[in-house]
Structure 1
Amino acid sequence: MPTRLLAALAGACLLAAPLVPGIPPFWFTLLAYAGLSAIVVIGLVVLTGVAGITSFGQAMFVGVGAYATALLTTRAGLSPWLSLPAALAAAAAAAWIIGAVTLRLSGHYLPLGTIAWNISFFYVLGNTDWLGRYDGLAGLPPITLLGVPLLESSRVVYLIWACVGLCVWLTQRLLRSRTGRAIRALKGGVVAAESFGIDTARAKIVAFVYAAVLAALSGWLYAHVQRAINPTPFSLNASIEYLLMAVIGGAGSIGGGVFGAVLVTVLKDQLQNVLPLVFGTQGNFEAIVFGVLLVLMLQRAPDGLWPLLTRRSVALPPDRGPAPRPLPPRPAAAPGTLLLEATALRKTFGGLVAVNDIGFSVRAGEVVALIGPNGAGKSTTFNLVTGVARLTAGGVRLSGREVAGLPARAIARLGCARTFQHVKLVAGMSVLENVALGAHLRGSAGPVRGALGLDGPEEAALFAAAQAALDRVGLGSARDLPAGSLALGQQRIVEIARALCLGPSLLLLDEPAAGLRHREKQALGDLLRRLRQEGLGILLVEHDMDFVMALADRLVVMNFGAKLCEGAPASVRSNPAVVEAYLGSAA
């Protein structure tokens, strides 16, 4: 069933509920709590489902928002609406500080770090006198709308679900924006994202802060609905429950997050009523059921229940506005201009010398092929040139500028684009969106413009450039397909289109012909020849010698990390040292 139809049905049910006689007020209260949880889980969709950052600390940010508004309204005399910006700002500041420290961690250390922060926050609340210790704060004023205090659950539920709708709208806009694509690119690998100009540390912070702000909005609503707060709702258990909602509903989609929040909230209430009757005693037996349910979900439906209901494919961002203005092209280098000069490149891993004093150059309008047996150090050399790996010694100059030691995103900003030996696409994004990631540096819209939908003309231009790059490589008809559904050879071509979308002057291709059929290789060769004629410099790593010999102007041969020889294809082909390196001395 389409997502919009499900959302429309849910909204209609919510609007019609007060008109149905006999509905107990408790169900409105339960629906209100489901909405409060949904706001937090929408933030978790961005943070965990999209950015891949597992957090067990979202209840902490709910607490920051709740306690900030409680202090401002009870002790500073502000109205709830005036305290809202301060509560959101407090959560954003806390998330920025905590994220700057915690997001440096990786693997299981990152979620453990968020657990530590949440536990610490809980005990700070419970042991601080001016925060009311474990008794908390009481006497909070209710939210007033158009002069009417929202005291009954049948009234406040509309405000809560209006906030849910606002969060859904903002999050959809954000994820379809330039910043949203940067956040989504984190799942394709940090190395790849940095290589086409994305500041991955900033993208993680943006996702972390955004999720915290939504959590604080939920905390603000909760505080004025309850009109009294204490540390219990902001404990680690609450954070685990929010994450459970995201996993059960489907952490990869906004609809899944909302669905999971409603499902778990209602199911928890019903289990608390039924299970004590089944077991004949009181206890938190619903935790056992949720544990079993979580294990079954991870085994049978790891993407959650929402995709099973909607069968939703990758969505293409809608066309925003009239025909776009084309992005300004990068100034082309004059033929023969020295683009890349690598001098005495050296890379060691302990006692292993992976690259040993390699040097070569690439000029505008030239194709240079870096060849050698497996394990010769070719891909490592690529990583040294593009800033993915740090040099042990040597120098790299791009267009006359020394770039050794610069991060990959800074080197991409200088007009150097690359592909990878092992394809690095974001499988859940469409082909067009993956290619548009290559144009990240050619846009400037930030998260606020993206979330508010103020980036329409720029987005249209970026996607027009992405479409042009796809048409150029012959995959324009595949624009709407999920990138992960393409064959390996097609995925390599998509990577080339993404690199071209940067508007580079230097193009580094790591085994681009691997997995391609004969006709596809011919088409790739024709494309690279056209790019050479347009003035691009191309550095190529490839094992298909027929492809290389027909295309390259110069060959640089590596063996055991060292430079074996350099020259025109004809001279290199007949070089005895090259023959021995590839075939062995007996041959």
Structure 2
Amino acid sequence: MALRLIPLLALLLVAGLAPLVLPAFHVTLLNYIGLYSLVALGLVLLTGIGGMTSFGQAAFVGIGAYASAVLTTQYGLSPWLGLLAGLAITLVVATSLGLLTLRLAGHYLPIGTLAWGLALFYLFGNLPGLGGFGGLQNLPNIELLGWQISGSADFAVLIGLLLAASLWLLDNLLHSRQGRAIRTLKESAGMAEAMGIDTARSRLQVFIIAALLAALSGWLYAHLQRVVNPTPFSVVMGIEYLFMIVLGGVASLWGALLGAALLTLIKQVLQDVLPQLFGHADNVEMIFFGVLVILVLQYARGGLLPVLRSVLPASRPRTLALDDAPALPRRSMPAAGKPLMVAQGLLKQFGGLVANKNMGLSVNAAEVTALIGPNGAGKSTLFNLLSGVLTPNAGQIIFNGQRIEGLSPRAIAHLGVSRTFQHVRLLGEMSVLENVALGAHARGKAGLLRSMLHLERKEEAALLAEATRQIQRVGLGEYLHTPAGSLPLGQQRIVEIARALCSDPLLLLLDEPAAGLRHGEKQALAQLLEQLRGEGLGVLLVEHDMEFVMGLADHIVVMEFGQPLASGTPLQIQQNPAVLAAYLGGVE
């Protein structure tokens, strides 16, 4: 923790000493870097980590600036009330826009942000009372406990304090339960829902945080300039903010500062040099920035900061005291043999294709049920019906006495069903510990504010201790802090099982868990599943390895052409003529 505070203290030191040693012009330049960094921090969270591209952040900067400008110049109110008003208006606008636009996927989302970014820009210029495109002037100075914040030196200290505070809050957030949920949004939202994470809520929260940081920057900008007009809040400026994070580090908080500094300094140099080359400026620097971004995307897609970090010693992972962590509450396991999940008469059609027809099965507590069948038999479809990814056209699914067909994967996960995936879904850059801790998300309660203020230490330690226990349980204790993406495929599948166990499930759904495992790893997996069965856990596995299935399963269901072919004990299935015909073409 102390090591993480050193850069923040260095930032505050620079903010305090810069006015004493630098000319006023350079201090002003530093102030603008700080203002841009605040917006870029929000974009790192929104775009680089959350995967939601926005061209409209400059509009939120404008809301923060105009709210304070109107209240202070036209109503004579304090700039601090202007800040509160700007944040409140931004909260309402961002929530409304987020609920509308965050439902969009693919390229429709950035187009949506471009649309409302343009709309807000022209609203600033045409709304009565905002001074038109000429803007509002003579904003008052900010005063804090008798301190008149008027010159660039004063603003350097204030901006430095707010920037350091924002970095601390966001760093705490990203190293928390809520932060792990946010990091799933870009690549693994489906997996996150299956772990009980409300991805829609996380998206909206990230969108609002980014908007509030932009509004804070706008408030500071308005009182630093003491003049507000629509020009700095255009979509062009929104694109520049995106340039900053691409240049510095699209998924790095400190990359936001680096990108803001590089773009601001390069822009200043180009504005001095380009007129001498071309005889005029006219935003020619944007051509240079476009070429620069293309080069960065080609040769350093993560930005320049990760390149710099690759040649520096690796930082130690953030740790919490796990030895004294309280145990998480556990579910009461049902009696052995009690039906956990019963599916009856399931029908699933995709247009004219019938993937499942009259399918049913029963999975009991303390038993391993296997679902087998040739490729194309409809096993994956049935698996997705049981886990809530798909909704059946007909039939019912009862889990632990409750009908669950039509429920979302998140709701089913909260009831006590956890799963793995046919194609491994891990966050490769996150450690094994963090990936497994995602499984315990639904067992925590700390919200966004507690996470940002780092007041969830006790709960976070409990979640990580549980994840550590499950990792050691599956035999991967030596890989706790190893990036999950660097493990072999077989071990990645074991990590997925540990993540599923971390949710304290009653029923475990395993989709081809033995695929990619060596013989010794399969034996270890079989021992683990036997141990889980002995603890009362119900297991349903889809698997093609018949030796693995026959040596482990208590009950086997065989599918063919989307329909049930046979069911029974392993011995009964091995002797069933219909099964032999489906797999081997018949019996002599």
C-alpha distance in 2 between matches for 1:481 and 1:219: 41
SS class of match (1:77): coil
Structure 1 equivalent of residue 249 of structure 2: 250
Q: Give the SS at the match of 1:131.
A: coil
Q: 1:477 and 1:6 mapped to 2: Cα distance?
A: 30
1:272-283 correspondence runs (5 A) = 272-283=271-282
Q: Which amino acid aligns with 1:104?
A: R
2:8, 2:88 → 1: CA distance? 30
Aligned residues: 584
Shift of 1:88: 1.3
What whole-Å deviation, never above 9, does each CA across 1:173-204 have from its counterpart, x for those lacking one? 11112111111111342211100100110010
* Contact map agreement 2:15 2:156 (CA 8 A) in 1: no
Q: Indicate how the Cα distance of structure 1 residues 10 and 443 shifts in structure 2: closer, same or farther if over 3 A, else same.
A: closer
Q: Which residue of 2 aligns with 1:146?
A: 145
Native 8 Å contact 1:190 1:200 kept in 2: yes
Which aligned pairs between 1:312-461 and structure 2 lie closer than 5 A?
Answer: 316-319=317-320, 323-461=324-462
- Higher mean C-alpha deviation, range 252-261 or range 64-73: 64-73
Matched residue SS, 2:446: coil
Cα 1:279/1:586, change in 2 over 3 Å: farther
Q: Shift in Å at residue 133 of structure 1?
A: 1.5
Equivalent position amino acid for 1:234 in 2: F
Task: From the superposition, tell whether residues 308 and 6 of structure 1 become closer, same or farther in structure 2 (CA, over 3 Å).
Answer: farther
2:260 — aligned with what? 261
Report if the CA contact (8 A) 2:368-2:554 is conserved.
yes
Aligned to 1:547: 548
Spell out, residue by residue over 1:288-340, the C-alpha distance to the aligned partner (whole angstroms, 9 max, x if none): 11000011011100000001112276974431687211101111111111110
Tell me the equivalent position of 2:219.
220
SS of aligned partner of 2:508 = strand
Deviations 1:230-278 (A, max 9, x none): 1111110011000000010011110111110111111111111111112
| 3-state SS of 2:551 partner | helix
Could you say which residue in structure 1 is the equivalent of 2:163? 164
Distance in 1 (alpha carbons) for counterparts of 2:276 and 2:341: 75
Q: d(CA) in 2 for partners of 1:9 and 1:507?
A: 48
1:289 aligns with 2:288: yes
Q: Go from structure 1 to structure 2 and tell me whether the alpha carbon gap of 1:325 and 1:336 turns closer, same or farther (over 3 Å shift).
A: same
Match of 1:191 in 2: 190
Decide whether the 8 Å contact of 1:320 with 1:457 is kept in 2. no
Give the C-alpha shift of residue 496 in structure 1.
Answer: 0.4
After superposition, residues 477-556 of structure 1 pair within 5 angstroms as 477-556=478-557
* Distance in 2 (alpha carbons) for counterparts of 1:410 and 1:218: 39
Aligned twin of 1:53 = 52
* Letter paired with 1:137: L
In the TM superposition, residue 403 of structure 1 has moved relative to its aligned partner by 0.7
Q: Which amino acid letter does the alignment assign opposite residue 361 of structure 1?
A: S
Contact 2:94/2:207 (<8 A) preserved: yes
SS at match of 2:96: helix
Matched, 1:559 2:554: no
- CA distance in 2 between counterparts of 1:252 and 1:259 reads 12
User: For 2:165, what is the secondary structure of its paired residue?
Assistant: helix
Q: Secondary structure at the match of 1:439?
A: helix
Q: What is the one-letter code of the residue matched to 1:445?
A: A
Q: Which runs of 5+ in 2 are unaligned?
A: none
Mapped partners of 1:76, 1:406: distance in 2: 52
Cα displacement (A) at 1:11? 5.0
CA contact (8 A) 1:143 1:225 kept: no
What residue identity is the alignment partner of 2:508? L
State the superposition RMSD in angstroms.
1.7
- State the distance in 2 between where 1:271 and 1:5 align: 33
TM-score w.r.t. the length of structure 2 is 0.96
The aligned amino acid for 2:38 is I
Tell me the distance in 2 between the aligned counterparts of 1:321 and 1:127.
Answer: 57
Structure-2 separation of matches of 1:208 and 1:42: 12
In the other structure, the counterpart of 1:82 is 81
Residue identity in the other structure for 1:93: V
Cα separation, partners in 2 of 1:497 and 1:99, compared to 1, 3 Å: same
Return the letter of the residue paired with 1:258: L
Q: Deviations over 1:350-379 (max 9, x none)?
A: 001111111000110010000011111111
Deviation at 1:168, TM superposition (A): 0.3
- Higher mean alpha-carbon deviation, 111-120 vs 89-98, is at 89-98
Contact 2:372 2:556 survives alignment (8 Å)? yes
Distance 2:474 2:492 in 1: 11
Q: How many angstroms apart in 2 are the aligned matches of 1:70 and 1:541?
A: 63
Task: Give the letter aligned to residue 532 of structure 1.
Answer: R
Question: CA, structure 1 residues 282+256, in 2 after alignment: closer, same or farther (shift >3 Å)?
Answer: closer
The one-letter amino acid of 2:573's match is: V
State the Cα distance separating 1:28 from its structure 2 match: 0.7
**Most deviating of 168-177 and 7-16:** 7-16
Say if 2:77 is the partner of 1:70: no
Q: Secondary structure at the match of 1:424?
A: coil
State the match for 1:99 in structure 2: 98
2:421 partner letter: F
Q: Which runs of 5+ in 1 are unaligned?
A: none
1:130 is paired with a residue whose SS is: coil
Q: How far 1:127 sits from its partner (Å)?
A: 1.1
Distance 1:479 1:385 in 2: 31
Indicate the residue corresponding to 2:33 in structure 1.
34
Letter of the structure 1 residue corresponding to residue 176 of structure 2: S
1-side partners of 2:415 and 2:50: how far apart?
Answer: 27
Distance 1:378 1:186 in 2: 27
Q: Which amino acid aligns with 1:246?
A: I
Shift of 1:486: 1.1
- Contact 1:314/1:482 (<8 A) preserved: no
Distance 1:340 1:315 in 2: 44
* Secondary structure of the corresponding residue to residue 129 of structure 2: helix
Identity of aligned residues (%): 55
Deviations 1:413-447 (A, max 9, x none): 10000000001111121111111110111011110
Deviations 1:473-521 (A, max 9, x none): 0111111111111111111111100000000000000001111111110
- Give the superposition deviation at 1:139: 2.1
Q: Distance in 2 between matches of 1:406 and 1:85?
A: 40
- What are the Cα deviations for residues 375-401 of structure 1, in whole angstroms up to 9, with x where unaligned? 111111111011111111111111010
